[in-house]
Amino acid sequence: MFQEVDKSISVDGRDIRLKVGLLAPQAGGSVLIQSEDTAVLVTATRAAAREGIDFVPLLVDYEERLYAAGRIPGGFLRREGRPPERATLISRLIDRPLRPLFPNWLRDDVQIVATTLSLDERVPPDVLAVTGASIATLLAEIPFNGPMAAVRVGLVGDDFIINPTYQEIEAGDLDLVVAGSPDGVIMVEAGANQLPEQDIIEAIDFGYEVVRDLIQAQRDLIAELGIEIVQQEPPEVDSTLENFITDRVTAPVKQILTQFELSKPERDEALDAIKDEVNTAIEALPEEDPVRVAATTEPKSVGNTYKSITKKLMRRQIIEEGVRVDGRKLDEVRPISCRTGLLPSRVHGSALFQRGLTQVMSVVTLGTPGEAQELDDLHPEEEKRYMHHYNMPPYSVGETKPMRSPGRREIGHGALAERALMPVIPTKAQFPYVLRVVSEVLSSNGSTSMGSVCGSTLALMDAGVPITKPVSGAAMGLIKEGEEVRILTDIQGIEDFLGDMDFKVAGTDHGITALQMDMKITGLSMQVIADAINQARPARVHILDRMLSALDKPREELSPFAPRLLTIKIDPDLIGMIIGPGGKTIKGITEQTGAKIDIEDDGTVTISAVDGLKAKQARAIIEGMTRKLSAGDVYVGRVTRIIPIGAFVEFLPGKEGMIHISQLADYRVGKVEDEVAIGDEVIVKVREIDNRGRINLTRLGIHPDEAAAAREAASK
């Protein structure tokens, strides 16, 4: 167990406190990282390798406890259950910069657990958890090419700020997280309000400067505790099997990689045939042959070695010849096709976007305000009115496997597409609908998340959503061998596998709205990152031009099956009257008209119905109930009840008053029934409203012009 250490680091004028040796003594390493009143406990634990593992088995979990914000969970059980979507995204945020820093030969199980114990509603916990994961890993003395740290960069006005508060993020034009190692930037995640490329580059550089300070602070802490950063040499590998396979596959694999006319299935089939020949050759060797012994000792060794050799040959071809496996230039985008209105108008908007063999269908549903997603997590935001969901079934890559609930990858890709489109979604005041977009990946060969952005832009316009600008996206790749660097535009699946970077950039013709960069190496210089961002722009513009040739602006008419929304504003003090005791009044309006009614605390009433006439009927009822009456107002009404002393008249929807028998005519009336009957249309004037709110009406003293104006108003 470590000695207890309490250390403070100043980051852009704000302190980050690190407490080591106090909590979780049986974890391999643990740290309580705190800024203001937000505190996150991060642990790293290592277990012995399991047999048959041929990858780095890293598991990252971010946990939220609602007690951190002084709240009790909802639901029947009143305890935390399945992680909310935002917690899954933070788990990914921790994993993505951490994973490349573990040596690829490590086979021990490593688990990182970050738990938010206290939340200051000004300070997001996510970047604290990322930095805390690096510290916990170092304390656990796990082989690690760190330290690593992350900061958030905001832009308020013309100024970049480090680790902005929730309010500053909301008010600003940028929400960027940059993580880095001693070798350079290793991860970027950002949402932006159509910012120019140069602003994004400067923000990343600004953030990495602070990341370097946090890296040095970690080194100081580790030195203070007398711990050395573990960077073990990789175990020796017997190259007998690799040499055997290399000699037999190099020439035929090179030949296949230069047959640019081959489709992906044809290329995969040809490469698999070569691997089968290698297996046959190994099986023909004597049992005591070192090559056969090496192949049978580890069942996956032949396949993994063949993949590694193929990867090296593909990378070499790009570095030395500047040629990709499909014959494209390094900055060339695959062929694009777009269609809108693909599905019947029962769905409110649809589009199909295809780039090469990647095909995504996006479908839009317009909902009512009451259908917004309620959020039960630590984030201050309580609901979402724009939701983007991403699905990738196994048939999209020609596979068969069980269909499960969305995994971390699906949640992450949906969130990235949502972030890319959020800056162009109209405000609630402009377009009060709740929006759900579902992107169905029908065929995958790289960059499906950016395909989702493009397809969803078209689907939103097909649905008649008045987005402020269309958004397109492209995925950039990278091959780095020593000092040689090649940036690839619009990477396909095989290039994602062989490359060192997956850099997704989305935006409008005005600027960037979202980007996400993940690395397989331990860091990149700012110059390479800037080159990748700048190379993405012409690709995005090219893709956008092809999209706009299919549909250049939002449709003016909504689907006939989309709900029609009408919005009115009432005095908040009258909300109770509209709802009625136990919701009786509002239920009555819904049953009478068939419209759905949502009322917000500020008095905004949204009325929805597929039939616009029903929505107007409900609006008229509510307007009638909430209209402020004045003595002397004249209306057209209908007699609803008769009592011995007068008649009740509904003169506005839901608004009723009484004409006393003495006010029915300018002569003495013996019986009310002699003058009016139930159902009669009558012209009435408001005589007075008593102190109990009762409305007294009269038929006397109404000028013909007033009567004519009332009839005209009633006919509208």
Residues 620 and 639 in one domain: no
Residue 146, in any domain of the structure? yes
For the purposes of burial, counting CB atoms within 10 Å of the CB of 3, is it exposed (0-12), middle (13-18) or buried (19 or more)? exposed
Using an 8 Å Cβ cutoff, are 436 and 367 in contact? yes
* Residue 287 banded pLDDT, cuts 50, 70, 90: confident
pLDDT surpassing 90 at residue 237: no
Question: Last residue of a domain, which of 626, 660, 676?
Answer: 626
DSSP H helices, 141-183, are 166-171
pLDDT surpassing 80 at residue 377: no
Question: Last residue of a domain, which of 224, 256, 271?
Answer: 224
pLDDT at residue number 573:
85
Residue 33, in any domain of the structure? yes
Residues 101 and 201 in one domain: yes
Residue 413, in any domain of the structure? yes
Q: Greater confidence, 234 or 37? A: 37
Using an 8 Å Cβ cutoff, are 679 and 641 in contact? no
Residue 559, in any domain of the structure? no
Residue 446, in any domain of the structure? yes
* Residue 445 banded pLDDT, cuts 50, 70, 90: very high
Residues 544 and 568 in one domain: no
Residue 136, in any domain of the structure? yes
Q: What is the pTM of this model?
A: 0.86
Residues 375 and 282 in one domain: no
CATH assignment of the domain containing 273: 1.10.10
661 to each of 412, 422, 636, 679, 688, how far by Cα in Å?
A: 71, 62, 18, 17, 15
CATH assignment of the domain containing 186: 3.30.230.70
Interval 475-528: pLDDT, tens: 999 999 988 999 999 999 888 888 899 999 999 999 999 999 999 999 999 999
Q: Report the distance separating Cα 245 and Cα 306, nearest Å.
A: 7
Q: What is the mean pLDDT of the chain?
A: 92
pLDDT surpassing 80 at residue 232: no
CATH assignment of the domain containing 694: 2.40.50.140
Residues 350 and 434 in one domain: yes
Residue 331, in any domain of the structure? no
Residue 124's domain spans which residues? 5-224
- Once rounded to an integer, what is the mean pLDDT over residues 630-634? 89
* Residue 252 banded pLDDT, cuts 50, 70, 90: very high
411 to each of 226, 244, 278, 391, 438, how far by Cα in Å?
A: 41, 42, 39, 9, 12
Residues 312 and 411 in one domain: no
Strands (DSSP E) found in 123-274: 149-156, 159-162, 174-181, 184-195
Residues 657 and 694 in one domain: yes
DSSP H helices, 99-165, are 126-139
> What is the DSSP secondary structure assignment for residue 664, as one 8-state letter?
S
For the chain, the domain total comes to 5
146 to each of 186, 229, 451, 599, how far by Cα in Å?
A: 11, 8, 34, 53
Question: Last residue of a domain, which of 266, 293, 321?
Answer: 321
pLDDT at residue number 716:
65
* Residue 2 banded pLDDT, cuts 50, 70, 90: low
- Once rounded to an integer, what is the mean pLDDT over residues 645-669? 90
pLDDT at residue number 369:
87
Which residues lie below 8 Å from residue 629, measured CB to CB, with a gap of 6+? Answer: 655, 686, 689, 695
* 239 φ, ψ (degrees, to nearest 5): -90, 10
pLDDT at residue number 473:
97
Q: Greater confidence, 585 or 458? A: 458
pLDDT at residue number 339:
97
Residues 64 and 191 in one domain: yes
Residue 229, in any domain of the structure? no
pLDDT surpassing 80 at residue 1: no
Residues 495 and 374 in one domain: yes
pLDDT at residue number 567:
87
Q: Torsion over CA of 695, 696, 697 and 702, rounded to 10 degrees?
A: -110
- Once rounded to an integer, what is the mean pLDDT over residues 461-482? 96
> What is the DSSP secondary structure assignment for residue 711, as one 8-state letter?
H
Place of tokens 């496997």: 401
pLDDT surpassing 90 at residue 585: no
Residues 380 and 516 in one domain: yes
Q: Greater confidence, 121 or 453? A: 453
Residues 107 and 185 in one domain: yes
Residues 201 and 63 in one domain: yes
